[in-house]
Structure 1
Amino acid sequence: MLLLLILLPVAFLLPPGAGAGEIVGGWESKPHSRPYMAFLRVQRKNRTTLCGGFLVADNVVLTAAHCRGNNITVTLGAHNIKRREPSQQVIPVVQQLAHEEYDNRTLKNDIMLLELEGNAVTNRAVAIIDLPSADQRVQPGTLCTVAGWGNLRPGGALLPDTLREVDVVVMPDAACPRNPDWLYRGYDPATMMCVGDPTRFYDSAKGDSGGPLVCGGTAQGIVSWGPTKAPGVYTKISAFLPWINDTMRRLQAGAGL
């Protein structure tokens, strides 16, 4: 199963179990203004799909667990993904470390660390983004940003050449009501964030799942799932800090996970 995120004003992430892909709205990012962004090519059997991610250590990218595949290649330092820019660093993934309690039906614990084959060279175009502290909470009404290379038309296959972004607002948990018979039945406020004001018609959607929700320079969420209209659901990074830190410590110690 794959949910592909995009930025768009109308279409949005499909519910768990659906397919995905588009950016209809937002604007082109200033080249390399988001140097933490990672472009993921995910190989699954005989097809290739796309996801987003972000650099959190010299050799580690954070993304969504539903972006798992047989093989993943990460491109860092990209603005135009259809060109071989001198700034780009293409690095294979050697380990996909999804959360042990990830549920591909409900998308709970939708978080994964990718160990790269080698260290990225950090520079103007490639940089690590800060993560929140375990007790940090983003208040409803906070304006944040998501970015990606997703489709430009709802249901279409028009991919942008360049990174695009859009501002989104964090909503109260009540905006993603936990109704067992409705769209947000799997929403868990302890580990998820409700993002995107439906009256403003801007939010993330299909095309680059796994990309970061950035608030004040810190990655607070990971694009995960949602209905065809905002708000959508993001993995709450602060809830997973103990898991992230423990997994990264073992990685850096060469524990052979």
Structure 2
Amino acid sequence: MAWVPLFPGSLAVGGEAPWAAVGDETYHSSRRMGLTANSPAPHALPFLPLPGPQRLAGGSTGSNRLGSPPGNMQPLLLLVALLLPPGARAGEIIGGQEARPHSRPYMAYMRIQSAQGHKTCGGFLVRKDFVMTAAHCFGRQTVVILGAHNIRRFERTQQRIPVLRAIPHPRYNPQNNLNDIMLLQLANRARQNRFVRPVALPRTQARLSPGARCTVDGWGLVNLSRRTDTLQEVRLTVQRDGECRRRFRSYNGWTQMCVGDPRERKSAFFGDSGGPLVCGRVAQGIVSYGNRQGTPPAVFTRVSSFLPWIRRTMSRFQQRGQAEIPL
């Protein structure tokens, strides 16, 4: 199975990420991402948003080109389950575990409404008024839930904020998943406390060294029909670019990161799209896509490569009532 963009940010095989066309593995996303019969078949799929039953209110405008997994995805999901190692369940972080409640105060759970239906994605708070996620998580309307551990409960710690404006990178390419990064401006500033707090971004464009140990968190499926309610996490190792160049023909080491030891059964999968790769308390990557078998390594957007765009964008789009600065 190809890596699916995880919209709900789940970390195991079976997370809630939309399958997007990335590299050369495209599935149901091919049409929604603008691929045609003449387009080269991608071998890696972005983690796609999972369909969701919630009705969304308020948020960004535009149309989401990624839709909910179609009916013919069921056999594919079943195949994923059969490919998992003993003890692993589809939709559960491979090699991961439940995170300590509220130990990741920057995590965001996103409910997205698009022309194709409702889905979910992961993201992370980078400023009181901005959440960062993957560009393939774009939707017509989005609501961000901060301060959550169990996303099926109305926890007192939760803050539900509609998205005022979705800003995908202007050079995002849905056919190869390059520049798979997006900023979401919140309609209201988040109330910062011990349950809700931004994560630090890299200060320079220095590259993270191979061998670095990082954490990925997210919400995903518990089985083929039910998602996990609680935040899951897994520890992954940054790999040399060559590991991904051999597997994904569109991999670009300047703007992407290769993460996950191919000798281990640990990785992000369905439902994890848009979630952060945190290394030393700094968000260094964004879950983007992987291979069809859900085996590591996977490809993450390299946050440090986009620092100038991130700073420029957050400076331009001020809170309502303030002037916008042309880019």
User: 1:174, 1:134 → 2: CA distance?
Assistant: 23
Cα shift at 1:87: 0.4
For 2:226, give the aligned amino acid.
Answer: L
TM-score when normalising by structure 1: 0.91
User: 2:27, 2:199 → 1: CA distance?
Assistant: 30
In the alignment, structure 1 residue 162 sits paired with structure 2 residue 230? yes
Q: What is aligned with 1:77?
A: 147
Find the partner of 1:190 among 230, 240, 254. 254
> Residues 91-240 of structure 1 correspond to what in structure 2 (within 5 A)?
91-153=161-223, 156-177=224-245, 183-227=247-291, 228=293, 229-240=295-306
**For the pair shown, which has the larger CA radius of gyration, 1 or 2?**
2
Query: How high is the sequence identity, in percent, across the aligned residues?
Result: 45
For 1:200, give the aligned amino acid.
Answer: E
Specify which structure has the higher proportion of strand: 1
Post-superposition Cα deviations, 1:101-141, rounded to whole Å, max 9, x if no partner, equal: 00011110000000000000000100010000232221111
When residues 162 and 254 of structure 1 are mapped into structure 2, their CA distance, relative to the original with a 3 A threshold, is: farther
User: 2:16, 2:139 → 1: CA distance?
Assistant: 23
List gaps (5 residues or longer) in structure 1.
none
> Residues 26-41 of structure 1 correspond to what in structure 2 (within 5 A)?
26-41=96-111
For 1:215, give the aligned amino acid.
Answer: C
TM-score when normalising by structure 2: 0.72
State how many pairs are aligned: 250
Runs of 4+ residues deviating >6 angstroms:
9-13
User: 1:46, 1:236 → 2: CA distance?
Assistant: 29
Q: What is aligned with 1:247?
A: 313
When residues 67 and 12 of structure 1 are mapped into structure 2, their CA distance, relative to the original with a 3 A threshold, is: closer
The answer on whether the counterparts of 2:16 and 2:272 sit within 8 Å (CA) in structure 1 is no
The answer on whether the counterparts of 1:134 and 1:242 sit within 8 Å (CA) in structure 2 is no
RMSD, matched Cα: 2.1
Post-superposition Cα deviations, 1:154-197, rounded to whole Å, max 9, x if no partner, equal: xx13211110100011000000125xxxx401100000000001
In the alignment, structure 1 residue 59 sits paired with structure 2 residue 59? no
3-state SS of 1:6 partner: coil
When residues 60 and 248 of structure 1 are mapped into structure 2, their CA distance, relative to the original with a 3 A threshold, is: same
For 1:210, give the aligned amino acid.
Answer: G
List gaps (5 residues or longer) in structure 2.
29-47, 51-90
User: 1:63, 1:168 → 2: CA distance?
Assistant: 19
The answer on whether the counterparts of 1:8 and 1:23 sit within 8 Å (CA) in structure 2 is yes
User: 1:51, 1:12 → 2: CA distance?
Assistant: 7
3-state SS of 1:206 partner: coil
3-state SS of 1:140 partner: coil
